[in-house]
Amino acid sequence: MAVNKARAAHTAASSIFKPDATKLLWLFVSMLGAFPLVVLALLALVVLLAIFAMAGGSQMTSNSAEPDDTSDQATHATVLIELSGGDGRGEFKATAVPDEDLVDPIKAAAKKCTLLTPVILAAQIDYASQWDADKEGPQGRKGLSQLTPEVFDEFGEDDDDSGEASVLDAEDSIHAHARYFCHLADKTGQLLKDQKVAGDHLSLTLMAWDIGLETVEAQGGMPVLALGTYAFQVRGLFPKYTRDADEESDTDDSPPEPDETATALPAQDDPDDPTEDGDGAAALSASSFAAMFPNRNSFYTYAGLTDAMAKFPAFAGTGDEVTRKRELAAFLANIDHESGGLVHIEEINRAAWGNYCDAGQPYGCPAGQSAYHGRGPIQLSWNTNYKAAGDALGLDLLNNPDLVREDDSVAWQTALWFWMTQSGAGTTTAHSAITGGGGFGETIRTINGALECGGGNPAQVQARVEAYQRFTAALGVEPGDESTLTC
């Protein structure tokens, strides 16, 4: 019987491959039809790996610039996530929005939670309605965001003060969209914290938007094949609403030129007085920032930096113009070193993530033993620093340290908080060191002096010095006395 079956199979196979023109044509057409599916499946695998790589990732210092395999892996993960459309945290390209009157509502609504950005919000609206505020879809969905009646009843408000909350009112729809997104972000964040789902926070939230929280939890998070899902398709729209680094800013994110900036130096004060504070952002344009960090992760935006700088007006705003530019260059050089050129958002050595919990503190480590690893441009680490920075910034970073990797303004704020207020291994803050005549070397001592200064790691010190010299040259200022460049 087995032999007969084999012969039958052989006979069937032989009949297929006889040189019959019609059968050959159909075979050829079938192969052509299957080829795009194979390509899409491979692309889906790449994207899935990218999304999971993003979910994974120095002490504030020591190993951030060391070249090793983990550094290469982090760089590769950044490239892969870009293939899936990016993370939506780039600078918002407002001109891509068909109705300019919607730009301000989008930017305002996107501030409702740290995960949401204008890019993400715009991409979702584009996918939902193609910017048709009057669109009516299935299941009673209406408006720009195609919200169901139940969702709008819960999250909709009269945001434009028209006297009525309406899902067909563009501004009301945008804000209701943001509230609902942030509600889902809270829920998916808790599922991740409880280890009930796998995947990255943004993709899980987009999935919950599309298929519901219960389904996301039931299937354990990301599906094996992400291609074709709502999250994948929305991510594909991110580049459309993200401004390229070499494009001129089409928003108010860039500061005015120095001579038009009211806060560059207090108008009533003598601009030559070296004791006065001013707006350090005036010395750094968006184009200069992009040129200084050509390979930076899109998470680190110019808008996030200038937003954080506005909260620390003395930064790069103390002293004369030379002093201000030197401080700006010193800060950028040190964060360049700490983050690998603004490539790394989290500490790349995952094996060290559990080393930064001082359980002896009365508040302990409520977010977990490994939750206080390095994050952000200066690689903030230790529960003590997350607690202190959070208290100073009005944020609960002790319980939610991931805010530093989810919100670029918060990430920049933690870096400036350390720079302006902490002495680290030095005797003074980095801000006071550079503005008080201590030179660039003293900023190194403050940030990582225990491991690098006094001959501890001269190669690391030299790398910082070379970065400082590059940035001072870019800002058009001399780096200062050569004897003060090292520590």
User: Torsion angle, CA of 345/346/349/350, rounded to 10 degrees?
Assistant: -140
Q: How many CB atoms lie within 10 A of CB 333?
A: 25
Return the minimum-mean-pLDDT range out of 280-284, 404-408, 422-426, 442-446: 280-284
CA-only gyration radius of the chain, Å: 27
Provide the token pair at 10. 């052989």
Q: Is the pLDDT of residue 191 over 60?
A: yes
List the catalytic residue out of 171, 338, 346, 347: 338
Nearest Cα neighbor of 357 from 395, 398, 417, 396 is 398
Q: How many CB atoms lie within 10 A of CB 30?
A: 10
Return the minimum-mean-pLDDT range out of 136-145, 246-255, 426-435: 246-255
Q: What is the pLDDT of residue 479?
A: 94
Nearest Cα neighbor of 144 from 211, 94, 99 is 99
CB of 122 closer than 8 Å to CB of 96: yes
- Please give the biggest Cα pair distance in the chain: 103
Q: What is the pLDDT of residue 247?
A: 54
> Model confidence at 281, in pLDDT bands (50, 70, 90)?
low
Q: What is the pLDDT of residue 199?
A: 80
Using CA atoms, how far apart are residues 275 and 148, in angstroms rounded to an integer? 57
Put simply, whether the predicted model's pTM sits higher than 0.85 gets the answer no
- Alpha-carbon distance values, 10 to 2, 3, 13, 17, 207 (Å): 12, 10, 5, 11, 47
User: Tokens 């299957």 identify what position?
Assistant: 34
Q: What is the pLDDT of residue 148?
A: 93
Q: Is the pLDDT of residue 418 over 90?
A: yes
pLDDT in tens, 219-235: 887 764 444 578 888 98
pLDDT in tens, 48-68: 444 444 444 333 433 343 333
CATH numbers and ranges of domains, the chain: 35-86+254-487 (1.10.530.10), 94-241 (1.10.530.10)
CB of 112 closer than 8 Å to CB of 178: yes
User: Tokens 């599922």 identify what position?
Assistant: 191
User: Torsion angle, CA of 101/106/111/116, rounded to 10 degrees?
Assistant: -170
Known catalytic residue at 338: yes
Burial 129-142 (b: 16+ CB within 10 A, else e): beeebebeeeeebb
Nearest Cα neighbor of 302 from 365, 251, 371 is 251
Q: Is the pLDDT of residue 302 over 80?
A: yes
Using CA atoms, how far apart are residues 452 and 462, in angstroms rounded to an integer? 10
> Model confidence at 411, in pLDDT bands (50, 70, 90)?
very high
State whether residue 152 is helix, strand or coil. helix
Q: Which amino acid is at 377?
A: P
Comparing 89 with 423, the larger pLDDT belongs to 423
**Average pLDDT score over residue span 388-414:** 94
Using CA atoms, how far apart are residues 432 and 315, in angstroms rounded to an integer? 10
Q: Is the pLDDT of residue 38 over 60?
A: no
How does DSSP assign 256-318, residue by residue?
Answer: PPGGG-TTSS-TTS-TT-TT----GGGG--HHHHHHH-TT--TTS-HHHHHHHHHT-TTTTTS
Using CA atoms, how far apart are residues 486 and 467, in angstroms rounded to an integer? 12
